[in-house]
Structure 1
Amino acid sequence: MIVCFDIGGTAIKGGHAYASQDIRALPRLPTPANDFEAFTACLRQVIGAAEAKPRQIALSICGIIDAQTGKAVIANIPCLHGRALQEDLEAALGLPVLIANDADCFVLAEAELGAGRGHSVVFGIILGTGVGGGLVVNGALINEHGGFAGEWGHAPVAATSAGTPPASLPRFQCGCGQHGCIDATCSARGMERLHQHLHGEMLSSENIVQGWIAGDEACKRSIDVYVDVLSAPLALCVNLTGATIIPVGGGLSNAVPLLEEIDKAVQARILRPFGRPLIVQAQCRMEPGLIGAALAGLRASRA
């Protein structure tokens, strides 16, 4: 048995995992974002509720472990940011600790238990508050030891002309410090920026998608431009990785017609014809970070 966690900026989701099909989630706890001692006390509370001493602790985090330094990059949990987190947690908890990025945990869950079952190369993507992703090859995360692989949302590659007919687009400022990232243009907030740029009005991403489905001309134009911007770099990711399925999570994944439109645009731009949907809604809709952490932890404990 292992204890797994999905660590977010506002809540800690914990669970006890006995097997890949037997993951028992526990009530959420608020994240003590500024107090490391209080943070580890929350983890001990979940560990202490286990029936026996666990073999392993596994964490999904909303950040990155720098593979070169071993230090955590977690901007929204200051008490963890900049720490040699694995070492510090192992010292505090007295158990082996595995840490993985939340998008990596999402795609690991999809590869083993969700839409990616039976596929050798699974590239899972997040379309929501941010644009992220992770890569699983032959059942294993590329990022098993930390790092930035799969972060396709960050690079100055967003088109400055997109849609039919082409619209001129600015290179929006991204939270990572660059201009023109897919994250800045194609996240939920990015979709809202696009709509405001094109039409001079601010609408929520939910209302833009709903308006597009209902046939609103302004929303149709915004989605046309959005899909054009998104599909080119995503097609490159497919060609580069050889992924044969792309499960999508995040808030925008709830709009299945939008995923179908993205799928159509990506498949028109890749080298390999599939003849079936490639971009699909994720199947692990509940707690994919916790599930992915459990799967990674169970595998590490067996090794």
Structure 2
Amino acid sequence: MIVCFDIGGTAIKGAVAHAPDDIRPVPRQPTPLDDFDAFVGVLRGVIDRAGARPDCVTLSIAGIIDPDTQAAVVANIPCIHGRPLKADLEAALGLPVLVANDADCFVLAEAGVGAGRGHRVVFGLILGTGVGGGLVIDGRLINAEGGFAGEWGHGPVAATEAGHPPAALPRFQCGCGQQGCIDAICGARGMEKLHHHLHGETLTSEEIVNGWTGGEARASRTIDVYVDVIASPLALVANVTGATIMPAGGGLSNSDALLAEIDRALRQRILRRFDRPLLVKAECAIEPGLVGAAVLGLGYRPA
């Protein structure tokens, strides 16, 4: 039995997990942002309710663990940002602690109990406000010790010309400090910037996708350019990792038509040929961070 948490800037979701299909959530609690002792207190309260000593405690966080310093980079929760979080929590709780990025927990959930079951190499991608991802090979998270692997949304690789016929594109500024990242043009906010650049019109990503599926010309042009931009770097990810399934989560993945269109373009650009979809909708739609944290903890073996 383990205790797992999905740590967000607003709320902490906790659960007691006995198996991947036996995860028992407890009521969520507000996240203490500036008080580490209070943060530990929330975790301890859930642990105390478990009824027995857990094998370990696992956390899904909206940040990363620096593999060189072991410091947590979680900008929206100041009380844990910059801390050696694993060591500090183990000292405070007296239990082994595992910490993973939320996108990594998402792909762990998909590989363990979702769309990636039965696949050796699973690359999970987030198509939400921004773009993220994670990689599991033979059931093991590549970022098991922390790190940046899977962050395919960052790096100045976005096309400066895309679509049919080609449209000239700017290198949008990314939140990571670079220009031309996939995150800056292919997340929901990026799609909105792309639409405004092409048409001078401000719409939400949902309105753009709905307009496209309804046959509206400007929205259709935006999606044509968007798919051309995103498919090539995603094809490179597929070639480099050898992934045989790519479950997608996040708000944009709610459009089956959009996923199918990206998948069609993706499979035309990769070396290995699939006669089935490679990019698929994630199956762990409810609490994937918590499910992934549970999968991570249930696979824990003491050193």
TM-score by length of 1: 0.98
Match of 1:118, SS state, is coil
Partner of 1:135: 135
Alignment of 1:207-226 (within 5 A): 207-226=207-226
Q: Which AA in structure 2 matches 1:236? A: L
What are the superposed Cα offsets for residues 182-237 of structure 1, whole Å, 9 maximum, x if unpaired? 00100000000000111111100011100100011000001111111100000000
Match of 1:185, SS state, is helix
The answer for unaligned runs of 5 or more in structure 2 is none
Cα distance, 1:51 vs structure 2: 1.4
Alignment of 1:171-190 (within 5 A): 171-190=171-190
Match of 2:300, SS state, is helix
What are the superposed Cα offsets for residues 51-82 of structure 1, whole Å, 9 maximum, x if unpaired? 11212100011000011110111111111111
What are the superposed Cα offsets for residues 85-111 of structure 1, whole Å, 9 maximum, x if unpaired? 001111111111000111111001101
Q: Which AA in structure 2 matches 1:157? A: V
Alignment partner of 1:74 is 2:41? no
What are the superposed Cα offsets for residues 135-161 of structure 1, whole Å, 9 maximum, x if unpaired? 000111111101000000010000010
Match of 1:24, SS state, is strand
Is this contact kept in 2: 1:56–1:301, CA < 8 A? no
Partner of 1:28: 28
Partner of 2:158: 158
Query: 1:195, 1:84 → 2: CA distance?
Result: 42
Cα distance, 1:3 vs structure 2: 0.4
Q: Which AA in structure 2 matches 1:167? A: A
Q: In angstroms, what is the RMSD of aligned CA positions? A: 0.9
Percent identity over the alignment is 69
TM-score by length of 2: 0.98
Deviates more, 1:207-216 or 1:39-48: 39-48
Match of 2:132, SS state, is strand
Which stretches of structure 1, 4 residues or longer, exceed 2 Å deviation after superposition?
Answer: none
The answer for unaligned runs of 5 or more in structure 1 is none
Query: 1:32, 1:212 → 2: CA distance?
Result: 42
Cα distance, 1:31 vs structure 2: 1.0
Partner of 2:253: 253
Alignment of 1:59-208 (within 5 A): 59-208=59-208
Is this contact kept in 2: 1:125–1:131, CA < 8 A? yes
Q: Which AA in structure 1 matches 2:156? A: P
Is this contact kept in 2: 1:164–1:224, CA < 8 A? yes
Count of aligned positions: 303
Query: 2:46, 2:14 → 1: CA distance?
Result: 6
Match of 1:17, SS state, is strand
